[in-house]
Structure 1
Amino acid sequence: MPMDNEPNPEPQPAPPTPPSLSWLTRWNRIPLYTRIVVAMILGIVVGLVLGERAIMFALPSEIILRLLGALAPPLILVAVAHVMITTDIPGRKAARLAWLLVLNTTVAVVIGLTVANVMSPGTWSKLDAPAEENVEEKGEGAGQKTPLEVLVENVPHSIIGPLGDQQNIIGVILIAVAFGIAMRGVKDRPVATVTDLVEIAYQTLLTVLHWIIQLVPIGVFCIVAKVVGTEGFEPFKAMAAFVLAVLVALALQATWYLVRIRLFSWPRPWYVLVGVRDALVMAFSTASSTATMPVTYACLKDNVKLREQSASLGSLVGANFNNDGTALYEAMAALFVAQLLGQDLSFVQQLMVVFTAIIASVGAAGIPEAGLVTMTLVFNAVGLPPQYIILLFTVDWFLDRCRTTINVLGDVNVSCLLDGRTQASAT
């Protein structure tokens, strides 16, 4: 029996309650492609309900595309500078590496344009081309604009543009606020070298890009609601043809890689595919060639048994410049939208697409959603309305994985070609 004077045990403190997550944190934890699919479904429902009144959703998607377009040039500039500063390329193989990368990307864009011209997926349905904006009319009717329309007009088309325009003070303020908030995370970081400066600029731009990417599902919702409400489901008939055309083009690009491996390197194509299957699966599942780089390197070195220098040059160095699948996709997307709007791109314009896609793809491999950013440059180069880029996001979550796989296979191709026709002797 317990004694009456025995002290009572002290009560144990309750375990701490985990902090509840905000709705924004929970939303951001959902994969981007899932959010895009949900936004697309909701957009279809709202478009069917509102009908022609869904035209009001055109403005939010325009804001998002303007933000992407404004960020694209400085991001590509800093990304390429960052790659050139931080990448160590041996002098003897630098020229051969550069030649292989340029050749593969050029072939990819040519394949993409050829398939898009032959299959013509955009001719399956038509969209009305957007009316050209008249600057004088905009000035006369400025008093009748809604506050949202005024805000859209002041969202900068480029980051540098508003700095030289004394009338667009709102644009300057938007840029200052965005980059001021983004740089708070690196405000105490010392800048001792030029590399440090470029690194800080790169990380700041990536932070701002991450914020814009979070808005993409909203843009998808708005453009789908607007298209379904005003055009019906006719434009989406062409999307299936576009997906098929892109898959055919990517398959042809993969064939190019494997044929080159068979003719100009010692390992056989099937042996290479089996050896790098883990890297290809990871590329498809993550949609990130940057995250796949160490896996690609390990597969090439340990499974395929390439020389260490060849494996590192192709998978680590080349991956920073090699974005063949993205360049192919952007070229096809430009031609597809032109066909959808009934616009014919001349041979010179298609050459401009080739040149812009090649330049935009250099150094973009390390940028999240690289195709999302650089596609605005390709569209603007040939005068295509960039607002239809968001329409492509309805299928981009799947095609992004496919083209990332091709990007990684392109890295594998470069490594094998650099290794040559003779296998390294076993030690």
Structure 2
Amino acid sequence: MTDNTSEKPTTVTPNTALIAQWQSIPLYLRIVMALVLGVVVGIVLGPEAAVLSVPGKLVLRLLGALAPPLILAAIIHTFMTTHLGGPLAARLPRLLLLNTLVAITVGLTVANVFEPGRGAGLTPPSPHEEATKAANPLAIFLENVPKSLLGPLGDDGKVIGVIFIAVAFGMALRKERERPIMTVGHLVEVFLDALIKILHWIIAVVPLAVFGIVASIIGSQGVAQFKALGIFVLCVLLALVIQAAYYLIRIRFGSWVSPVQLLRGGRDALVMAFSTASSTATMPVTYAALRDRVGLREQSAGMGALVGANFNNDGTALYEAMAALFIAQMIGMDLSLQQQMMVVLTSMIASVGAAGIPEAGLVTMTMVFSAVGLPVEYIPVLLTVDWFLDRCRTAINVMGDMNVSCLLDGKQKQESIP
């Protein structure tokens, strides 16, 4: 019996062709285009552009709901699938923790000293303004979008939120319905794959969020706030350079490898990290460079480049801490020492397992902001420069992996273990 429904020709409409062309453009270029368009629309419409911020808030609300379970699943999957063993495994957590703590400390120190967001005059929405928007249908719809994945299933009991979650997971799991689940690991993988698929859908409309938020800020508060972004970029680059210098000094005194030898042998991995903005995609190149060009033992190279990469995201943690302090300075909010310690703790936790998450900085930033009460609606302001800083901090992530491998290899060169 022939199934007549299995061979249907695919119809390409002008709309689908236009969407395909849009998606073929790299995300960072789409964000830059959205930034330029948002500035133009904000100048033209003025205060009337404020209504355009609602789609951006919707995107960020969805990201905020997705971030905690995504980080949870990523951390569980990382610990379940990472093979830790051998004499070097005991030293690895200590090195990773120290590097991350140093990175966050450097980031917070630079941000506190230079205060790149101070005086920007970005005004957060007041409770009165929020109350006047209560009758807005778009705002009412936004309030029904779940703030957390389990929220609609708990006390708030919003049926629309339940429908959001059901539809999202139903669509994400359609192709996985026949996938066999034999172990707990398989179940975690299915859950993580579904979350990442939903994340891809949200990331696809991130340029819309950038356009709406930028247009709203330009229209209501002018362009002065964006001048601080240039200083912020310079501060982040300075902090990353300091972190890189720390790595090289540690290698100089804690390993037989010289800093020049490491930079020469690992340049392919660093260039690939910068060009792809993905430490996961760079992992095999990093391992090969450490093993074949630098001359580290196989176990040391693998422990830092392959195992450590899943836990070691120092550049990302540094950036998240600086971003939180920058936005706080822009809106005139002073983060106390306790709040900055919470930023440190949240950044460290969120960075574990983040290497395999697309646009991990965007996902984890919502958690860091929420932990200290910062408005996540200003994250699109950072996205206007994030496409460049993401590449820079990814290169630092990879350099951190190299640092760990060299320190694990010791102060004397040893013969490779077959």
Q: TM-score range by the shorter chain?
A: over 0.9
The 8 Å contact of residues 58 and 145 in structure 2, kept in 1 or not, is answered as yes
Counterpart residue number, 1:12: none
Q: Deviations over 1:225-245 (max 9, x none)?
A: 111111111001100000000
C-alpha distance in structure 2 between counterparts of 1:298 and 1:166, whole Å: 52
Deviations 1:385-406 (A, max 9, x none): 1111111000000000000000
Please say if 1:65 is aligned against 2:60.
yes
Aligned-pair identity (%): 61
Deviation at 1:116, TM superposition (A): 0.1
In structure 1, C-alpha distance between the alignment counterparts of 2:205 and 2:155, rounded to whole Å: 27
Name 2:204's counterpart in structure 1: 214
Instruction: Give the match for residue 94 of structure 1.
Output: 89
Residue identity opposite 1:207 in structure 2: K
Q: Give the counterpart of 1:271 among 258, 261, 267.
A: 261
Q: Structure 2 matches for 1:31-50, cutoff 5 A? A: 31-50=26-45
Secondary structure at the counterpart of residue 93 of structure 1: coil
Q: Is the CA contact 1:130–1:385 (under 8 Å) kept in the aligned structure 2?
A: no
- Structure 2 counterpart of 1:355: 345
Change (3 A) 1:277 1:133: farther
User: In 2, are the aligned partners of 1:124 and 1:241 still within 8 Å (CA)?
Assistant: no
Consecutive unaligned residues in structure 1, runs of 5 or more: 1-16
Deviation at 1:41, TM superposition (A): 0.5
Aligned to 2:271: 281
Provide closer, same or farther for how the CA distance between residues 389 and 133 of structure 1 changes in structure 2, counting only shifts above 3 A.
Answer: farther
| 2:193 equivalent among 172, 187, 203 | 203
C-alpha contact 1:124 1:237 (8 A) present in aligned 2: no
SS in 2 for 1:22: helix
Given that 1:297 and 1:312 are in contact with CA atoms closer than 8 Å, whether structure 2 keeps it comes out as yes
Residue 387 of structure 1 corresponds to: 377
Hey, what's the Cα distance between the residues in 2 that align with 1:60 and 1:121? Answer: 28
Correspondence for 2:75: 80
Query: Aligned pair 1:235/2:214, yes or no?
Result: no
Larger-Rg structure: 1
Secondary structure in 2 matching 1:156: coil
Q: Which runs of 4+ in 1 moved over 6 A?
A: 17-21
Q: Determine the structure 2 residue equivalent to 1:147.
A: 137
**Amino acid corresponding to residue 100 of structure 2 in structure 1:** T
Cα-Cα RMSD: 1.8
Question: Which residue in 2 is equivalent to 1:378?
Answer: 368
1:124 Cα shift?
A: 4.5
Decide which of 264, 277, 291 is 2:281's aligned counterpart. Answer: 291
For residues 18 and 50 of structure 1, what CA distance do their matches in structure 2 show?
38
Aligned counterpart, 2:169: 179
What is the CA–CA distance in structure 1 between the aligned matches of 2:129 and 2:330, rounded to whole Å?
23
Other-structure match for 2:48: 53
The equivalent of 1:118 in structure 2 is 113
Q: 1:18 to 1:71 in 2, by over 3 A?
A: closer
Q: Is the 8 A contact 2:210 2:381 kept in 1?
A: yes
Q: Post-superposition shift, 1:134?
A: 9.8
Gaps of 5+ in 2: 1-9
Matching residue's letter, 1:302: D
Return closer, same or farther for 1:51/1:133 CA change in 2, 3 Å cut-off.
Answer: closer
